[in-house]
Every structure is written in C-alpha cells, then in structure tokens.
C-alpha cells in the first residue's frame, strides 16, 4: 500500500484525507524508528531495508478513522506516537471500546495473518503518527527471521490473552473491573502514580461502564482511602486492600 493508494477514511459521514509522508522524503528517519521498535528491532540491515521500502508513514489528526469495519487486511499498523481506540458499534449505534493503544503498539496483525476483513473500527483519539507495513513483506521477513516470527506470535498471543481477560471480567462487579484495570496500569508505571491514558468516558467504555458509574466508583475508592486522584493522576494508597477486592 503506497501513499497514493491510501483512501480517505470516513468519519461522521465525511471523508477525512490522511496526511501522508512519502517514503523517499524521510527514509532514514523511518528506518531509525523501525530499528528501535520492539516489533522490528531484531531485523538485519537487508530485512530492515525491505520493510522500510514497504512502509507508509501517516500523520493523522485526532478523531479520524484509520480502519473501518470490513476493510481488507493489507498489513499491520504501528503507533509511533499518539493514541488510537479499537471500537465496535452496536445495531443501536452505541460504541464499545475494545482497546486503547498508545505509542509502541501495533494493530491489524491478527486480521493480516488470517487474511480476514477487519471486524472493528480503529480511530485516533489524539493527533498521532502511524506506520503501515504491507502484508507481503511482513510474511516474507517472518519466513526468514525466527525471532521476528516469534515476536509476531507474542503480539497475537498478548491480544488473545487480553480478550480472554476481558471475557472473564464480565463476571466481575463494576468495582472489580475498575480495580483490576488500575492495578494492571500500575504495573506499567515507574512512579507511584498512574497516568490515565484517556478521558474517563473512553475508559468507561473500555470497562463496559457508564461514565456516571465510573465517576461514582472513583469517588468510592477515594472515600475508602484506597486511591487519591489529581486530574488524570491516580495514586494507589493500599495495594493489598485493592488486590483483595479481586479475590
């Protein structure tokens, strides 16, 4: 997929044209980005050049569709910076957020490997830079490089594990879902604070809660002296008691 071949994306019945960076204008910068990513960092020089030659850079404004339901699986996307949400729409038109993905994450991998159309939509939540790498070169390099193939399997496995965890959470109370989410987020932080990755409405959709329920649960956890909140920053005050709520 080349820049000239990328169609506009539909958002609220309008076509949004993505601003693309031609490969030959930023090849070295693109190569450096890929070489330092967890997905492509193990490739040798020749393989990396092959991937660079089949990768398109996309700078996408906030709230634009990158993938629509039914789109063909032409390759894999990598988030350089910014954030996207993976969503499904009900017959009533409501939106269910399946995942919120930030920098150094990928999407579209499962669809690409299965050669199945995308079932979910992917939209940016903030201004983002994405890379799209063609399917054929991904599969060719996977044949040549076992470590790369293993990384692809790891990514798919991680997504499957997350899906099973979400299904398991359906049997949990609303409070347990929020507590589990906060504890998982804390594992990725280097300080005592958790920086919420999105606004509360988006997080509520991710946890299958209403925004009102999420706000009430945050208030309850503060009242119970389990967390403190300052804007989007949350500090867990008692990990032991928080963990016990999931028992």
Are 159 and 180 found together in one domain? no
Are 72 and 183 found together in one domain? no
Task: Output the domain CATH number for residue 187.
Answer: 1.10.10.10
Paired strand residues for 121: 87
The closest of 4, 16, 1 to 121, measured between CA atoms, is 16
Are 123 and 225 found together in one domain? no
Are 159 and 44 found together in one domain? yes
- Provide the H-helix boundaries in the chain: 27-35, 45-52, 109-114, 135-144, 146-169, 174-186, 200-206, 211-223, 239-244
Last-in-domain residue among 169, 191, 219 = 169
Q: Looking at residues 204-213, what average pLDDT do you find?
A: 92
Higher pLDDT among residues 61 and 20, named by residue: 61
Under the banding of pLDDT at 50, 70 and 90, the label for residue 170 is confident
Task: Output the domain CATH number for residue 101.
Answer: 2.60.120.10
CA separation for the pair 219, 204 (Å, rounded): 14
CA separation for the pair 172, 3 (Å, rounded): 45
Number of H helices, E strands in the chain: 9, 14
Are 226 and 162 found together in one domain? no
Residue 89's pLDDT is: 86
Alpha carbon distances (Å) from 188 to 182, 192, 195, 196, 197: 10, 11, 10, 12, 11
Are 103 and 217 found together in one domain? no
Domain limits at 129?
A: 3-169
Are 147 and 47 found together in one domain? yes
Q: Looking at residues 171-188, what average pLDDT do you find?
A: 91
Residue 15's pLDDT is: 38
Are 118 and 205 found together in one domain? no
Are 124 and 222 found together in one domain? no
User: How many domains does the structure of the chain reveal?
Assistant: 2
Q: Looking at residues 79-93, what average pLDDT do you find?
A: 89
Higher pLDDT among residues 163 and 129, named by residue: 129
The closest of 233, 176, 178 to 205, measured between CA atoms, is 178
Paired strand residues for 97: 87
Last-in-domain residue among 169, 200, 217 = 169
34's CB contacts (< 8 A; 6+ apart) are 40, 41, 43, 48, 51, 52, 55, 78, 131
Are 180 and 224 found together in one domain? yes
Under the banding of pLDDT at 50, 70 and 90, the label for residue 25 is low
Are 164 and 178 found together in one domain? no
Are 157 and 220 found together in one domain? no
Last-in-domain residue among 118, 145, 169 = 169
Residue 24's pLDDT is: 53
| pLDDT of residue 113 exceeding 90 | yes
| pLDDT of residue 190 exceeding 80 | no
């Amino acid at each position: 997929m080349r820049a000239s071949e990328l169609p506009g994306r539909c958002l609220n019945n309008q076509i949004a044209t993505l601003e693309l960076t031609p490969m030959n204008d930023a090849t070295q910068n693109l190569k450096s980005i890929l070489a330092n990513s967890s997905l492509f960092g193990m490739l040798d020089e020749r393989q990396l050049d092959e991937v660079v030659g089949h990768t398109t850079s996309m700078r996408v404004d906030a709230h634009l569709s990158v993938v629509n339901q039914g789109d063909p699986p032409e390759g894999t996307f990598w988030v350089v910076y910014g954030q996207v949400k993976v969503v499904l729409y009900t017959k009533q038109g409501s939106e269910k957020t399946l995942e919120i993905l930030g920098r150094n994450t990928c999407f579209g991998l499962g669809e690409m490997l299965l050669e199945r159309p995308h079932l979910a939509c992917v939209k940016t939540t903030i201004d983002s830079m994405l890379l799209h790498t063609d399917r054929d070169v991904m599969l060719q390099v996977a044949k040549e490089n076992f470590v790369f193939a293993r990384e692809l399997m790891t990514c798919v496995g991680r997504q499957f594990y997350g899906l099973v965890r979400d299904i398991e959470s359906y049997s949990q109370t609303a409070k347990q879902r929020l507590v589990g989410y906060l504890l998982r987020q804390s594992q990725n932080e280097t300080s005592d604070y958790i920086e919420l990755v999105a606004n509360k409405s988006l997080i509520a959709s991710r946890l299958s809660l209403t925004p009102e329920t999420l706000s009430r649960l945050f208030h309850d956890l503060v009242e119970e002296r389990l967390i403190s909140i300052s804007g989007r920053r949350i500090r867990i005050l008692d990990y032991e008691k928080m963990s016990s709520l999931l028992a």
